[in-house]
Structure 1
Amino acid sequence: MSAHTPRPESPSGLIETDQRSREIFRQIVDGYLATGEPVGSRNIARLLPMALSPATVRNVMTDLELAGLIYAPHTSAGRLPTERGLRFFVDAMMEVGNLTSDERARIEAQMKAAATGRTLDGTLTEASALLSGLSRGAGVVVTTKANARLKHIEFVRLDPARALVVLVADDGTVENRLLALPPGLPASALTEAANFLNARIMGKTLGELRAEIAQHRAQMESELDSLTARLVESGIATASGPSSDRHLIVRGQANLLEDLKAQEDLERIRLLFGDLETQTDVIDLLSRAEAGDGVRIFIGSENKLFSMSGSSMVAAPFRDAEQRIVGVVGIIGPTRLNYARIVPMVDYTAKVVGRLLDGGR
């Protein structure tokens, strides 16, 4: 399994050709991911599989710093990886582990229990909470409401010029949309339009229903008068509008307040909370994870959303019964996320959610 992320140009040939450089760089990254603390040359010399003096380690660290892979925070003698270094590590050096059988069983059991007797939103909320609990980061899910399977539609007149479009999905969720009515529309047209749609709606998504009506436009125009036909088309267009497109669920933000080491950490988390409140930007970023089949990793200022908070996100798409991508699950946290552990966790959770959407197969 690998994280599907664009591979950067190599920062320097030294990492590919010099085993010493690779091992020293790996120790710095591993130390940072484990503790968040800078790693010094003496500690690295003790941990290396080959015998090197602290002075030799410092020389290599200087080369790594010149390559833009590590830096010295404040006046510390130790080094931390830069965001560029983390990206290089994730793309070129990270060994992604496998989940244990216990971890797989826990994800399966919690998600199946969540899906029993719950709406789709309830199931996805549990997926978000589950990822948060497993990672100690914030679990996030974004889904396309328009992919819900529909059960019933109703037009409810509010006044001569407006009506509500009421959509009932298979999972019991109800969506209301405000619809402008054509002038002079008789009350009977609302009932006729609803009956026409309900005869065709069962089990379809809005997109499928819209495509069917477009395909059988001549039949619709022969069965309905022109005003009612307009009502059918405008009702479907309103129900499929932007407000119904994306839905964001975030759980576990409080986890991000744990293990803060300095005042700047608290400021970083405050900025991240602000990012999470800007739902449109989070949804846009998660939607980028729909571009491929695998897990995507977004690190720090590589994207504008996390440019101030210095956070990372690991995300993977999930599919419905027709293998269409209908949403994304992920984890947001500090850049020192345990990527090797979280990548398979997010990947497996996305697959379990997909199977539940496919009737548990």
Structure 2
Amino acid sequence: MGPFQERGAQTALNERSREIFRQIVESYLATGEPVGSRNLSRIIPMHLSPASVRNVMSDLEHAGLIYAPHTSAGRLPTETGLRFFVDAMLETGSLADDERRRIAAEMRAAAADNPLDAALAQATQLLSGLSRGAGVVLTTKTNARLRQIEFVRLGPQRGLVVLVSDDGNVENRLLDLPAGLPSSALVEAANFLNARISGRTLDELRQDVAAQRTAMERELDTLTARLVEAGLATAIGGSSDTRQLIVRGQANLLEDVSVGADLERMRLLFADLETQKDVIDLLSRAEDGEGVRIYIGSENQLFSLSGSSTIAAPFRDAEERIVGVIGVIGPTRLNYSRIIPMVDYTARVVSQLYRRR
């Protein structure tokens, strides 16, 4: 019945078709070059003539799994073919013990006496170096647990809200102060909020204060109560769209790139990485599922022109809430079998660091 045991079902490739398709994909992942029927007939572990191989390649091309670039006699996998290979045929290896130890040790060292941001930056640097792609991490600052809030006067009606999180990060937000507000009100407002922080996030603290509005109005005068509400609104408003993106290793994307179309794709990828909002939108999708997510080429709008792939996994805090995504961005011929377990393990280490804070 040809290469498919059930016509049109990509998951039902027969043995020789699967082997030829596997060799085409693995050759592409290793070299980026198309492979022809003559070479395939030499390397596949079964006896087939170049003519027989060409017949199978023709069926694979008809199925949309491979294509001929330009006038080349060789074939490359299509994005559909790469997706089929990753979903149905890829055998992911386990991460080498020395790589596990290196990732865990370097990230824990970075987090020992620094905010978690330092460990996240180290994680992206490690992923970049190990994958030869660009390492990326996305976090949501509103997920941070708070340790302390302070109010600082800058002028008669200008001040700062100072937020100190459990992981040691300090953020300052400009705040408009009510007219005639005495300096003592800044201390009273901070004391009121700090008595209720207890490791809450900003949003949880806001909900708690709203639920205790009557108690707040009894405890504080009108101007101080207004300061509490204004301070929380400023802090949350400043964080609501604050998605921190860390990218390391963009230069790796220029390695092993020839002139022409490949170079143009990498130029577009660089432009994509500079347009952080689009990258953030892409990585945010990986927060919706469990485990490693893989986006290949035009499966996502961002990389439809740059011919790139993203491998990403979410990480969690002590309450098992997803608080960010970490991964690798690179050309479609990434070493998926190696990078998938690498990203998965790194996300697990990051989760462990969050749980210990």
Q: Which residue of 2 aligns with 1:6?
A: none
Match of residue 315, structure 1, among 287, 312, 317 = 312
What SS does the aligned partner of 1:140 have? strand
Q: Which residue of 2 aligns with 1:4?
A: none
Match of residue 75, structure 2, among 76, 79, 87 = 79
Q: How does 1:38-187 map to 2 (within 5 A)?
A: 38-187=34-183
What SS does the aligned partner of 1:175 have? strand
Pair 1:301 & 2:301 matched: no
Segment of structure 1 superposing worse, 81-90 or 159-168: 159-168
Contact 1:15 1:22 in 2 (8 A): no
What SS does the aligned partner of 1:28 have? helix
Q: What amino acid sits opposite 1:256 in the alignment?
A: L
Contact 2:269 2:303 in 1 (8 A): yes
Q: What amino acid sits opposite 2:254 in the alignment?
A: L
Contact 1:317 1:350 in 2 (8 A): yes
1:12/1:160 Cα in 2 relative to 1: closer, same or farther (>3 Å)? farther
Question: Quick one: distance in 1 between partners of 2:331 and 2:353?
Answer: 30
Contact 1:152 1:202 in 2 (8 A): no
Segment of structure 1 superposing worse, 212-221 or 50-59: 212-221
Q: What amino acid sits opposite 1:307 in the alignment?
A: S
What 5-or-longer segments of structure 2 have no aligned partner?
1-5
Aligned length: 351
Question: Quick one: distance in 1 between partners of 2:108 and 2:8?
Answer: 47
Segment of structure 1 superposing worse, 240-249 or 342-351: 240-249
Give 4+ residue runs of structure 1 displaced > 6 Å after superposition. none
Contact 1:28 1:38 in 2 (8 A): yes
Match of residue 277, structure 1, among 262, 274, 278 = 274
Q: Structure 1 residue 300: deviation in Å?
A: 0.8
Q: What amino acid sits opposite 2:130 in the alignment?
A: L
Match of residue 34, structure 1, among 2, 25, 30 = 30
Percent identity over the alignment?
Answer: 72
Question: Quick one: distance in 2 between partners of 1:209 and 1:15?
Answer: 51
Contact 1:142 1:329 in 2 (8 A): yes
Segment of structure 1 superposing worse, 119-128 or 181-190: 181-190
Question: Quick one: distance in 2 between partners of 1:195 and 1:131?
Answer: 43
Q: What amino acid sits opposite 1:231 in the alignment?
A: L
Segment of structure 1 superposing worse, 235-244 or 86-95: 235-244
What SS does the aligned partner of 1:241 have? helix
Question: Quick one: distance in 1 between partners of 2:7 and 2:207?
Answer: 49
Segment of structure 1 superposing worse, 164-173 or 35-44: 164-173
Q: TM-score, normalised by structure 1?
A: 0.92
Contact 1:14 1:21 in 2 (8 A): no
Match of residue 205, structure 2, among 190, 206, 209 = 209
Contact 1:11 1:67 in 2 (8 A): no
Q: Structure 1 residue 262: deviation in Å?
A: 2.9
